[in-house]
Chain A
Amino acid sequence: MAEAIAGKPGALPVLRGRHDLPEISGRISAIVLDGRLPRYFWTAFFACFVFVLIFLYSITYLISVGVGAYGVNIPVVWGTMIGNFVWWIGIGHAGTLISAVLLLLRQPWRASINRFAEAMTLFAVAMAGLFPILHLGRPWFFYWLLPLPNTHMHWPQWRSPLVWDFAAIATYASVSLMFWYMGLLPDLAVLRDRAKSRPAQLFYGILALGWRGSAFHWARYQTVYFLMAALATPLVVSVHSIVSLDFTFAITPGFHSTIFPPYFVAGALLSGFAMVLTIAIPLRWAFSVQDLITLRHMDNAAKLMIAAGMIVIYGYASEAFFAWYSGETYERTMMWQRAFGPYAPLFWTMLACNGAVLQLLWFRRVRLNMPVLFAIALIINVGMWIERYVIVVTGPSRDYLPSSWGEQSLRWLDFGILFGSIGTFFALVFLFIRVLPAITIFEVEELAGERGGAR
């Protein structure tokens, strides 16, 4: 373990400098307990809050007027709501991967970024969970997707991937929440102990569920945490695979493809890590925690991005290849129209973002240059959103009968809801940073302890 942390000579450290335990817990908990956050923090929060209001307005408008208020039409009846949903779910993937998979693989570099990555997962899943409901023509009946025993004994139709989807998201959201909360317990106890005001003590005390840090507690904690990690790991693969079945199951050209599950999972990881970087890079700068969240983290996340990204590019290639190889006129026409039809600008932008820009990450200098890495992460986020949208709209816009071919439009409500959800997501991230420790105190302490010197 110690070797892994120290790494090979010349490798980037996961923790920089010498730290003792009170210093670590003090520094991290001070962000929460002192509450003296810089002015730009609040400025940024209120900027996001404006988008929260836009989000609320847009949702209210959507529900009171109807889904015809955004761009969907016949033939393209699915639109940005489905695109946003897939995008947000994808973003949520990195958190689970970091916290569960890397935990099981005993990758120590996860320690300082897993907490906010998990929080990011939760918020992203919260955003994602809204979209299937907003997508509905009659959103107030969304619960009809649940197998509720009602007087008609009218059960959901199990053959529909939307029902599987509903179950998959619900599972993912609840497991992520429990896993995140589980990992928070020791830190909540730290906050409880360090809090000076009575309300804070009560607040964190109740949340800490009586954690005393006894060896007994720690043993139980380790067992449960690892068990839950084992439980969450398949979800990384399953959730997005099931989401992709919404498409694969349909006979629409451009949807009906077996490459979708792995392709979607890889895309999810790509966008998830892009979002981790999008948050981590400003975070480590704003709170001067470059020694806790080090360049090693950034480097590793970027490496994972290029790994996932290359699978995504393989997905693009295989989609195009099999459209041709299948010999199906419908698939071929759809693919041709995707590349050279009315959605061609989006398609090529997507390839430029996710294909071309991604290649910069092969260079170590790029991976270690924070402003460039941040820009690349943003571009990949945009590219991944476009990818989701292109997949959702191009298939049905060019399906079987040319008489029905048509495009949908993007209207203000599409953008209001998309940017509103992004704003809400970041507002939640800001609140999270203010209320809970964004970096796992005990795991960083553990890391520092294992490196020796810290007491």
Chain B
Amino acid sequence: MAGLRERLSPGPELWRSLDELADTPEFRRFVDAEFPSIAERIPRLDRRTLLKLMGASLTLAGLAACSRAEDILPYIRQPENIVPGKPLYYATTLSSDGYGIGAVVESHEGRPTKVEGNPDHPASRGATDAIMQAAVLSLFDPDRSRMPLKHGEPAAYGDFLADMAELTSRLAGSGGAGAALLIEATTSPTMKAQLEALRARYPRLRLFQHDPLATPSGAEATQTLFGRALAPVYRFDRADAIVSLDADFLGEGPGRLAYARDFAARRRVRRADDTMSRVYAVESTPTITGAAADHRRPVRPSEVEAVAAALSAVLGGEAAPSALALDPAWLAATADDLKAAGRSALIVPGVHQTPFVHAAALAMNARLGALGNTVELIEPPDAMPIEGDLAALCQAIAARDIDTVVILGANPLHTAPAGFDVRDVFSQLKLLVHWGLYRDETAFAAHWHVPAAHDLESWSDLRAHDGTASIVQPLIRPLYQGRAVHEILAVLGGEFAVSALPLVRRTWAQTTWAQALDDPAWRKALRDGFVSGSASTPVDVAMPADLRGLNPRVEAAKGVEIRFVADPWLRDGRNANSSWLQELPRPLSKIVWGNAALISPATAGRLQVENARVVNIASNGTDIDAPVWIMPGHPDETVTLALGFGRKLGSVAALADGHDAYRLRSLEAPWIVYGATVAPRDGSARVITTQHHQAMEGRAIVRHASLEAFRKNPHFVRDGAPPAPTGSLYPDWQYSQEAWGMSIDQSACIGCMACVSACQAENNIATVGPDESALGHEMHWLRIDRYYSGPLDDPDVFFQPVPCMHCEKAPCEVVCPVNATTHTHDGLNAQVYNRCIGTRYCSQNCPYKVRRFNFLDFQEFDKDAAGPEQAAHNPDVSVRSRGVMEKCTYCVQRISEKRIKAQIENRHIADGEVVTACQQACPTQAIVFGDLNSKGAAVVQEKAAPQHYALLEDLNTRPRTTYLGKIRNINGRLSPGGKADG
């Protein structure tokens, strides 16, 4: 301290922290570890440099005050002062394919560590998905672009500004002629306002958008039918009968979390007189929506139109066409249920499907009266003042109309469809500017690359699926000189020194479509995490009598069809450098660290290929090699290819296997390709999966029944299951305080994997990489088991989340020779890492195999070598070293935090106060956690449900984590026995 005072004594010098002021070695190490970009810039000194720097620092001394100071507001409560060790929570918004999903981010001493959903935000409703959880990891990703690049060489931002000043003066002179902007998918009102301002300033400036995951069919259909593009918002909470026409509404789309919540709410059955919705799904690739459906049929992508037309015909009282891939009884049952539901029916078209399917679905919804009830149409929140896509831009460049392009976020060099050479076209440009998070393919081709600020580093705004606007609030100052997109747009508009905050505030001070935000309203919007009253109002439309010329494709498709999907976690490839997402098993295939060409068992039989065998897939003159993966329930003669892999943009992405499916994509048909050929090649490629056996082997693992059967026999979970023994040699535990327990509703679980990702983020669970994953060394404490039952070609799918069961008579506890796994006073089965010597007997004796072992040193303990990723760690959870066992703790750190709080306030822990990470993330609220000793607790009520059972209860382990049997609303006409149909 004396040293500090001495340094402070000379006068009012500006300083940021005491450590920095003292310039201790600890601080230097901290800088190195936390902010390598800064460390890189602390030069190795020779005498000459030293003299230069001394001169410079004298000159620059006066500029120390110029760093930006911005206000960000905490969520819920404003602490009087920051208490070290106590996290603060800020509401912000994360981008999901351009749409906003509200989040509440936990920040420890200015370091964001965990993303939770914002309960008040309409697209989150308190839930998160796996990608949102990984946002903190991508924030601290050391492979992110760290500095501006000029011709691929590091350069100063000032030089960039100088070049941009030149550009803006040129643009001002020419009215923007010859220049174009290429943006990615976004809903940001500020961006829209800035683009409009730019267009006003430079009338001849051209605006394009490139989104490899764009699905324009819906907009085309509404444009044709109603004369304007409209976006649907579904109300699953009002729907009694739901038909999905190749739609994955639970797994994809900006409203998926809200939809999953509403969907599960209508399917919550606890008593015999509870009702639930019924879902029919027609799918061209297996999705979690199909897995959640009561009746599901795989059809080829080209057949979905015919199914839509046939359903429309049957609803209209006509006979179904004879040559249909679908069983007429199935269609009739579906139609009858839809008719019975009337305005509570809902037909959801797949976003990838053709405009005809969208139009047919809208027409059917309108005929049933559902339009305006279960489906509402709003102005598309993602509408931007653009004139074309990447192809149009390339044409304009080729026509010499454009010689300057500024790319904001997109990576067209990688994500462009096959057929035109973007690199070649872009090489004709005089100036190519790229703004992005990574030094990707486009960044290296560009003349200037400017690093982007992460969502958690920047001010912005985004709109949700229903149009609700929310503010993107930074949690941390940009780590790597990143700039918000608004700053770049401002630069193009000639404002060189403006930061993003005033730009966003300017939008919201002048907004016309929602209430303008004055200071208190702005603060409220920040605190709430959304702008109240900004949701779009549904548009009233008049359904035309016919489909205005939208017709199904006439000819039957020949050859193999390719169905492209975005990888559920990597999306278009932007998350490829996130190890959490690479290692998170895909919901149905359980594949990690790569993608495979998914085919049906019958197609595999025809091609005579086995899993992981490499095949050549050719279409439109291009071809790729990919390993196949046989998916039960996949339509025949169809290949599903996931986009997002095959990139080597960072050290994590470089580890991953997988093929680049963009190379087969065509401009005309981005999602479905007809007439492809598949030919087996010699040899196989590595496909890593975390689950090798898919059948329940006749064991009562996921116990399930139809709603009808449940009504007849609410205790169906007891049927045929061996009874639990009652005696034990060991005395029972006594709990004077809490006794924690968990209940998981398998009817609600949709297998979305959000809980697994949340658990990983909360508990500092290491990723192990593809090689170790292939050996079975992955570390997830919580896994979601996926079982198939029924015929191979169209099986029923069951998901079962399996965390630690925290058994009362835990087999692991008695076999540990060193007391490393013990029973706590509140019923947890605790693992004491320091005591563990790694005999692995506990895992051997765990019938649920939920324990995970640190086979190697999966965590980096050297602070200097660990890199910035270590900043994403939760400081409340210790990281585990090599050679120790670990497992689910019921988030004991959260329990402790609440217990301490309750003890200070001299009260009991309230029900619902302790929320585990998995529970918090779950979009369907399938997981309920609480104190079993408290009579009215939600978890006690859940466990009183008739379909409640414990996994492997015949082993007398007496688990605290228990399950509610899965109940499905099966149509008795399609399977008279009440058992699931095919």
Contacts and interface: CB of A to CB of B under 8 A. Distances in A.
Nearest to A79: B840
B885 to A, nearest CB: 8
Given A68-B856, A136-B838, A166-B817, A251 B883 contact: no
Nearest to A255: B844
B818 A145 contact: yes
A404 interface: yes
Q: Is the interface of A mostly helix, strand, loop or mixed?
A: loop
Contact of A74 (B696, B776, B811): B776
A369 interface: no
A219 to B, nearest CB: 44
Interface string B11-23: 0000000000000
Contacts of B802: 401, 403
A405 B952 CA distance: 15
A17 interface: no
A393 to B, nearest CB: 11
B774 to A, nearest CB: 10
A135 interface: yes
B808 interface: no
A396 interface: yes
Contacts, number: 161
Nearest to A251: B811
Given A75-B849, A136-B839, A403-B691, A160 B844 contact: no
B699 A77 contact: no
Contacts of B837: 136-139, 141-142, 144-145
B721 to A, nearest CB: 11
Contact of A252 (B694, B819, B835, B844): B844
Contacts of A409: 775
A156 B885 CA distance: 17
Given A69-B856, A74-B776, A138 B817 contact: no
Given A68-B777, A137-B837, A138-B838, A157 B818 contact: yes
A8 interface: no
A69 B857 CA distance: 11
Contacts of B882: 66, 137-138
B698 interface: yes
Nearest to A154: B819
B852 A403 contact: no
A403 B853 contact: no
A161 interface: yes
Contact of A137 (B776, B783, B811, B884): B884
B12 to A, nearest CB: 52
Nearest to B814: A159
Given A66-B856, A74-B852, A403-B802, A250 B815 contact: yes
A246 B815 CA distance: 9
Contacts of B691: 403
A144 B693 CA distance: 38
Contacts of A401: 701, 785, 802, 847-849, 951-952
Given A68-B775, A74-B776, A249 B815 contact: yes
B356 to A, nearest CB: 40
A141 to B, nearest CB: 4
Given A68-B856, A77-B844, A406-B776, A145 B698 contact: no
A156 B818 CA distance: 5
A138 B697 contact: no
Contacts of B778: 74
B816 interface: yes
Interface string B756-786: 0000000000000000100111100001011
Contacts of B857: 66
A157 B816 CA distance: 7
B947 interface: no
A403 B776 CA distance: 13
Interface in B636-695: 691-695
A316 interface: no
Nearest to B695: A402
Nearest to B841: A162
Interface in A359-416: 396, 399-406, 408-409
A333 interface: yes
B814 A160 contact: yes
A249 B853 CA distance: 21
B4 interface: no
Contacts of A105: none
B924 to A, nearest CB: 21
Contacts of A136: 837-839, 883
Interface string A279-311: 000000000000000000000000000000000
Contacts of A258: none
A222 interface: no
Interface string B207-230: 000000000000000000000000
B699 A162 contact: no
Interface in A149-170: 154-157, 159-163, 166
A65 to B, nearest CB: 7
Contacts of A246: 841
A345 B882 CA distance: 33
B817 A157 contact: yes
B787 interface: yes
B836 interface: yes
Contacts of A408: 776
B877 interface: no
Max chain A CB contacts within 10 Å: which of B783, B785, B840, B852? B840
Contacts of A72: 840, 855
A75 to B, nearest CB: 5
A78 interface: yes
A278 interface: no
B854 interface: yes
Given A77-B840, A403-B787, A67 B855 contact: yes
Interface in B280-299: none
A116 B217 CA distance: 85
Contacts of B695: 402
Nearest to A132: B839
Contacts of B694: 402
Max chain B CB contacts within 10 Å: which of A142, A160, A406? A160
B697 A78 contact: no
Contacts of A144: 817-818, 835, 837
A238 interface: no
Nearest to B843: A77
Given A138-B838, A144-B837, A160-B815, A406 B777 contact: no
Contacts of B776: 73-75, 406, 408
Contact of B851 (A74, A156, A250, A405): A74
B955 interface: yes
A329 interface: yes
A62 B637 CA distance: 48
B57 to A, nearest CB: 46
Interface string A250-261: 111000000000
B811 to A, nearest CB: 5
A98 B489 CA distance: 90
A401 B693 CA distance: 9
B616 interface: no
A399 B814 contact: no
B859 interface: no
Contacts of B883: 66-67, 136-139
A402 B785 CA distance: 9
User: What 6 A-B pairs have minimum CB-CB distances, sorted nearest first?
Assistant: A137-B838, A68-B855, A137-B883, A73-B776, A403-B785, A404-B849
11 contacts: A66-B855, A73-B777, A74-B849, A77-B843, A136-B839, A137-B885, A139-B883, A162-B841, A246-B841, A402-B696, A403-B783
Interface of B: 691-699, 701, 772, 775-778, 783, 785-787, 800, 802, 811, 814-819, 835-841, 843-845, 847-849, 851-857, 882-885, 951-952, 955
Interface of A: 65-69, 71-75, 77-78, 135-139, 141-142, 144-145, 154-157, 159-163, 166, 246, 249-252, 329-330, 333, 396, 399-406, 408-409
